[in-house]
Structure 1
Amino acid sequence: MIAGPAAAPRLYDAGAVALALVAPAMALANRSSPLVIGIAALLFLAGAIAEQGGRAASLLIGPLRSPLGLAALAFLGWCLVSLAWSPFPALWGRVLSEFLPTLVAAAILARLAPGRLPSWAPPLGAGLLAAACLYMAGSLALGLAPQAWLGQRVALFMFNRPLLTVLLLAGPLAAFLALRGRRLAALLLLALAALAILRSISGAATLGLLAGAVMFGIGRFAPRAAALALAALILGLAFALAPVEGDLLHRLMPEAAHERLTQSSSRARVAIAQSFGAAVAQAPWIGSGYGMGLRFAEVPAAQALEPEMRAMLAVGHPHNTFLQIWSELGVVGAGLAALVAFLALRAAAALPRLLFATALGLTGAAVAVMFVEHGAWQGWWTAGCGAAITWLRAAACARPAGESAGERV
């Protein structure tokens, strides 16, 4: 049995394979990414321990002392503190048990994998991502016949989570390929990702694709300071407008728009946003407690609302991550989450031009999806974000040594 430093390369290779398998695993089982990310993180952690022994702990502890690390710890600490006023403590633990292990695994992977990935890992990840896109696009074109053959659930929305994962991963992997001189392969990967997303019924993925493309273009061609300011403004508005989103849409969204968005249940989404926004107004400072979305209609802040509004709170979450943070953690939680986001954006500002644009594209896509889709604490989304950040940081570590100074402008 191989032990000690000699085992590290094999463990890193196995971790790289696991990281590359995120997209195809999601295409086959649309909640599998937390498990895959967890395995990849454990393999890289084992490799780091085999290589450096006790010194490996400093690799993980060091970033926690940075402003971004301290802000993230403060946010998680506030989530834990909210147990003091959470009306359903068992639900609090249930939600945190899905989110926290995935977040820890994603953080370990994003810290340890960059610089330790073998040279064949990016092409493997890109190839498997392309295969997943072809599989999903082909399945949709065939009316989900492959899923029927495999005995899986036959429903068009079953690919929504995998395609949102593809949305996150495609940009960083394409940038990695482009930095290796494989620009045609990078463009082909992006084209296959766009094909699969546009072939699906996921409006959130389509919106994210559009937002990500626009922000990438701005990051690539606009002055860096202006692009960064715009990204910061978008993040700020996402947090600031979340509590009043429902009221704004109710007043400004024309009836014709609702008619065109019938399949997206736009009227119901507006009513849900209004209801959660009204609940935020009842407990604006500290919220109703982390993870209370599944029983939000029963929290104290909901009792002052009209019966029809309380009924809309029973959907489980407001389909807006920023609004969910406000409703569960109040202005304190929203402020800490915004601080984490702004500090992460500041870190992206130091990247070379292509990767800076890719980071802004990833931010634009993620913000767009988070404003209209899924609950804040779902493990599959956290895992996808962690994998995307890992590939982006790995690309930064592996950028060409002969990169010109002008590339960083």
Structure 2
Amino acid sequence: MMALANRSSPLLVGVAALLFLAGTVAERGRRAASDLITPLRAPLGLAALAFLAWCLVSLAWSPFPALWGRVLSEFLPTLAAAAILARLAPARLPPWALPLGAGLLAAACLFIAASLALGLAPQAWLGQRVALFMFNRPLLTVVLLAGPIAAFLALRGHRLAAVILLGVAALAILRSISGAAILGLLAGAVMFAVGRLAPRSMALALAALTLGLAFALAPVEGDILHRLMPEAAHERLTQSSSRARVAIAQSFGAAVAQAPWIGSGYGMGLHFAEVPASQALEPEMRAMLAVGHPHNSFLQIWAELGFVGAALAALVAFLALRAAAALPRLLFASALGLLGAAVAVMFVEHGAWQGWWTAGLGAAITWLRGAACAKPPYESAHESEDARA
């Protein structure tokens, strides 16, 4: 659906969550509520609730209280749907879900690759917008989904199908103009290899370092790139507007310095040039703030929610990494691959609260947890029981 309509994932994840919720209620009655509430009492759940609570608290000093409603109306419902899906779906996936999901993902990748090879002629025939960047969101969704679904296939004994799926996904991504998708593909592949080949403690340390640097360097990203990025690199990245991106990162980083502790309020990206923290900046910097977001989710969290919000978001990320550390080796490597791909994309692309990205992450986590819950056909019953324990 994302290949045909690149904003459809929040709706699809919402419908899927409602269906699984209805099925769980029909199956378990009132006990279904415990399936959703119990994870919120764990450290990861409490940290996530604390982060969301800080988002709401930050509205108290928001200079444009009408803006947050538009952001929350997209982000919170999609986040709730993604959480419900990731919690309820994995243990309830029917046997045909995996081949259907893998087949549709492969078909979507082939459709995208063929459309690009034909100069978007299929989109013209369908009466859609003809622009190469229209596949950027679908391909970023592919970056998230391909690894977990391929790992699920491999665990079910379908290793050739897993390789084919990864191959067609890479084909579509490398054929596109999405630099963020290509970066996510490379980062995910590197982190998967680390998780698969390196000692688990070393892989965890590298993943934790990656997360830590993503949060710590976000406020100074623009200044670092301005000083270190050579002119030749800008010339090679003309299509990615690298000069403008560096200037945008510098401007948002300067705004962070004006309100470092509590930020300027959740959802202020659309009017960040008018918030109090930006008034002390030079006019050319304020002009760059008008783009709406810094193309770096970590920097956006800093700018809108300050150090407190960034610390809470980092806590959520590190606790999620700790949970991934207990997975079997292949799924652990797949989780690190998903982490690497997501962090790479978030550091260079889109706003932090966009529903399509939240939906894609929720779907990827659902498939990863589905693989963890499934009983591989080659396991004995005793081994399967030990794995679940």
Q: What TM-score, normalized to structure 2?
A: 0.97
The answer to whether the 8 A contact 2:86-2:363 is kept is yes
Aligned-partner Cα distance in 1 for 2:142–2:214: 23
SS at match of 1:27: coil
Matched, 1:39 2:9: no
Matched, 1:351 2:327: yes
Matched, 1:173 2:135: no
How far residue 93 of structure 1 moved from its aligned partner, in angstroms, is 1.0
How far residue 399 of structure 1 moved from its aligned partner, in angstroms, is 4.1
How far residue 95 of structure 1 moved from its aligned partner, in angstroms, is 0.4
Structure 1 residues 163-312: aligned runs within 5 Å: 163-312=139-288
Q: Please point out which of 361, 371, 385 is paired with 1:385.
A: 361
Aligned-partner Cα distance in 1 for 2:115–2:250: 37
**Ranges of 4+ aligned residues in structure 1 off by more than 6 Å:** none
How far residue 63 of structure 1 moved from its aligned partner, in angstroms, is 0.2
Matched, 1:152 2:128: yes
- Which letter maps to 1:143? G
- Which letter maps to 1:266? S
SS at match of 1:363: helix
Matched, 1:74 2:47: no
Q: Please point out which of 106, 117, 121 is paired with 2:93.
A: 117
Matched, 1:366 2:342: yes
Match of 2:306 in 1: 330
Match of 1:319 in 2: 295
Q: Please point out which of 299, 316, 331 is paired with 1:340.
A: 316
Aligned-partner Cα distance in 1 for 2:65–2:99: 45
SS at match of 1:115: helix
Aligned-partner Cα distance in 2 for 1:264–1:83: 33
- Which letter maps to 1:72? A
Matched, 1:376 2:346: no
Aligned-partner Cα distance in 1 for 2:57–2:37: 22
Q: Please point out which of 387, 390, 397 is paired with 2:373.
A: 397
Match of 1:11 in 2: none
Q: Please point out which of 6, 12, 26 is paired with 1:50.
A: 26
Aligned-partner Cα distance in 2 for 1:280–1:49: 45
Aligned-partner Cα distance in 2 for 1:384–1:327: 24
- Which letter maps to 2:128? Q
SS at match of 2:207: helix
The answer to whether the 8 A contact 2:195-2:336 is kept is yes
Q: Please point out which of 78, 101, 109 is paired with 1:102.
A: 78
Aligned-partner Cα distance in 1 for 2:149–2:17: 19
SS at match of 2:91: coil
Aligned-partner Cα distance in 2 for 1:311–1:334: 25
The answer to whether the 8 A contact 2:124-2:130 is kept is yes
Aligned-partner Cα distance in 1 for 2:78–2:192: 27
1:115-143 CA distance string (max 9 Å, x none) = 10001101100000000000000000000
Q: Which consecutive unaligned segments of at least 5 residues does structure 1 have? A: 1-24
Aligned-partner Cα distance in 2 for 1:210–1:170: 13
- Which letter maps to 2:210? I
- Which letter maps to 1:124? L
Aligned-partner Cα distance in 1 for 2:375–2:133: 37
How far residue 207 of structure 1 moved from its aligned partner, in angstroms, is 0.3
Identity %: 87
Q: Which consecutive unaligned segments of at least 5 residues does structure 2 have? A: none
How far residue 359 of structure 1 moved from its aligned partner, in angstroms, is 0.2
Aligned-partner Cα distance in 2 for 1:356–1:212: 13
1:329-359 CA distance string (max 9 Å, x none) = 0000000000000000000000000000000
Match of 1:62 in 2: 38
SS at match of 2:2: helix
- Which letter maps to 2:354? Q
1:148-193 CA distance string (max 9 Å, x none) = 0000000000000000000100000000000010000000000000
Match of 1:5 in 2: none
The answer to whether the 8 A contact 2:375-2:384 is kept is no
Match of 1:136 in 2: 112
SS at match of 2:316: helix
- Which letter maps to 2:174? L
CA RMSD across the alignment? 1.4
